[in-house]
Each structure stands twice: as C-alpha cells, then as structure tokens.
Structure 1
Amino acid sequence: MTQLTVTDRRKLTAIRAARLFDGTSSHLLADPVVVLDGAVIRSVETGTGPPPGADVVDLGDVTLLPGLIDTHVHLAFDAGPDAVGRLLARTDEEALAAMAEAGRASLRAGVTTVRDLGDRGYLALRLRGRADQPAIVAAGPPITSPRGHCHYLGGVAEPTEYGVRKAVREHVEHGVDVIKIMASGGTLTPGTHQHLAQFDAAVLRAA
C-alpha cells in the first residue's frame, strides 16, 4: 500500500486502539491504525505505525468498530411514558431542539446512521447534514388514514388510490428519502389496532 503523508493530504489523523472489529472477520484485529483524511477513512491497518506527521489519537484499551445503523427511530419521540403528549406540547422549534439532542445521543452511542420513520412537519429533514448529527434517512410525517395511527404528526391521507398518491407526491416534493405508510394501527394511537388494516391492498399498491 502507498504510504500516506501529510504532504499529499490536507489533514491526516491516525486513530490507534487495542482492537478492531471490522464487521466481516470472525475475530478481533489487534493493534489497529485507522487513518482519516478529514472525515473520510483512507486506510485501516494492523501492526503498523501511523503515517509520518499525522495527528495521532491513541484511545488505549478500547475496541473500534464501524458505525452502527438504526433502521427505525422516531427522533421526535422521547422514551418517557407520555412521548406523544410531550411532543404535542412542544412548538416546532422546541421539538427540533429535542430531536437534535436525540441525534447527538445516538452518535454518543456509536450510531452513525438513523432512519427516521415518522416526524412532525418534516422536522427531521432540517437535521440532515448537520455535523453534530448522524446521517439521517428521513420519511417525514408517516402517511396514515384520517384519525389513523400517528395522525397527529400531520401525514393524513384519504384511504383511496388518489389520496395516497397525492400524499406520496407531497412527501417527494419535500425531499424525503423514504416513504412510510401506516398500513395498520398502533399502540401510540388510541382507537387504532395493530391487527386492523388502515388501507386496503389496492391502495397500498397504488402508493
């Protein structure tokens, strides 16, 4: 491998640790050196020294691993007993601040990518790309039926083919990354039930 130096890169940082789990090997790799060029990983080596002139961060007796991915989060909800009530009591700016703190908590736990499958008013889209946040794959308000599961998040659509197509178009125009449809009820919405469909199969196919 070509030796990296600070003369041909803008900024190199070498992270050292006792062990590394690379996500593919069946064993931990000893004495790893992870070389960063800014925010980009340029190399992962074991049993070698850092590039000449690089800033070295020695984490000691720890295990490095790739960033974790959480494929189903709701940054707008907290983990308390009345998450819905607290969200409804917040202004959009208050909700956004709470969501940002939830994103930072994810980063502190090693989660570097989250898929947010339901916010209010497309707030999660405003957090995308921020340096203090994980990478966010955002759905915006989940598409649901009138008085359906999570209707209070604002994604209500008429349960017709035209209605869901219109809702999907609106979400796409807002720039969402993924579409979330509440096909059934859920525990966070009284009067709805997980075993009962909110849209029939033809409507879901039309979406």
Structure 2
Amino acid sequence: MIKTENLQKRVPMSGGMLEILKGITLEIKSGESVAIVGASGSGKSTLLGLLAGLDEASAGRVIIGDTDLGTLDEDARALFRGKQVGFVFQSFQLLPALTALENVMLPLELQGIGDAREQAEQFLGRVELSERMLHYPKQMSGGEQQRVAIARAFASTPTILFADEPTGNLDTRTGTHIIDLLFELNREQGTTLVLVTHDMALAQRCERRLVLDAGELVEG
C-alpha cells in the first residue's frame, strides 16, 4: 500500500516560495491501478516523483508498505527503488549505447539476478520484440522504444510501477497498444500501477482517478 500524509512540496523562487503540492493525503491499495490527472502545472509529475522516492517532500510523509521514505537517505531510497519500483517515462529513458536486450538486462544485473539475460529475453518476447532485441534505440521506432521500456520496468518484477505520460510521445494506434501491454502485464503480476496522464482514455481504464488542481487533491 502507498500512503501519504499532508504531503507538501515547496521550491524557492525569486519572489518567495512556490507551493507545488499543498497537503496531499491519499491511499493506494496494493494491486490497484490509479491515474493521476489534472491540468498542466497542477503538480501531477511532482506527486509521482515524491511517491516514487525520486524527490524529497518539504513536509508530510510518503509511506510504502512499512517504509517511511522520509526516514531514508538518498542511497537507501535508491536501494528501495531498485527492489520495489519500476518506471516507464514519456521519453523512454533508454541508454543509446546499449541494445534493447542490454537495456532490459542492466537493472537486473545491478540487482545481482543470475539469469538476467534469460529474464530480459522473456519480457522482450512478451512485448513482441524478440526479433529486435539486438537493435539499438536509434534503430527503433518510438513505439518499439516504449515497449523496451515496459519490458525493462516489468522484468525486475516490481511491486509498484510508476508511469509518467507513457503514451505522450506516441501516435494513437501505438499508444493504444502500449496501454494494452501495461494493463495486461499489470494484471499478470498483480503490480500496483500509478500513472500520470493527460490521456482520458488511459485514465478511464484505471480503477480510480486522483484529480489534482493547483497542487490540491480535489477528487479521489
């Protein structure tokens, strides 16, 4: 389960402090699929980053399972993410010097998983890229790169998957295929899925929507 208590994020500006998040309290159950929606600048990606432990809150708490992320230093948060969390980003975040197979293998190898190659090949097959696994990102379409990113995220069998605008750089047809893959793998693995999106078709496929407005949770 993911829980926040009075979560706040402020950043200094020339004219004072900018409040990005204003006391967000929420709960997300294990295995649930949740969409975070709202207008640009409402704080969606900031909230996702705090939930994932990629950023530190100005006040309040983020608790995942029995772990209060605020009690962990940067190294401990990174270790926690490596064991518990997967990510899919709008910009794919693939390493250009590595093949699709190597991109999926890398986080598995960092975790010390012995059968990293076999596991990576299995998940690339699941996203229908068995014949492209030795290609580099620049040799692949946007949809193929996002499928590599999904394989990489799920291959480490995370308990939570965070996705930030996973279809934002894709055409409608390709985006629909990516959505289908996300939910198919999510169901198979029982992963908690938390995503930020402007795509209402994607949001409506989630079990619940959290609506942000100017840094405040107004629905969900």
Scaled by the length of structure 1, the TM-score of the pair is 0.28
Structure with bigger gyration radius: 1
Q: When you count helix as a share of all residues, which structure comes out higher? A: 2
RCO higher in 1 or 2 (8 Å CA, sep ≥ 6)? 2
Q: Point out the structure with the larger strand share.
A: 2
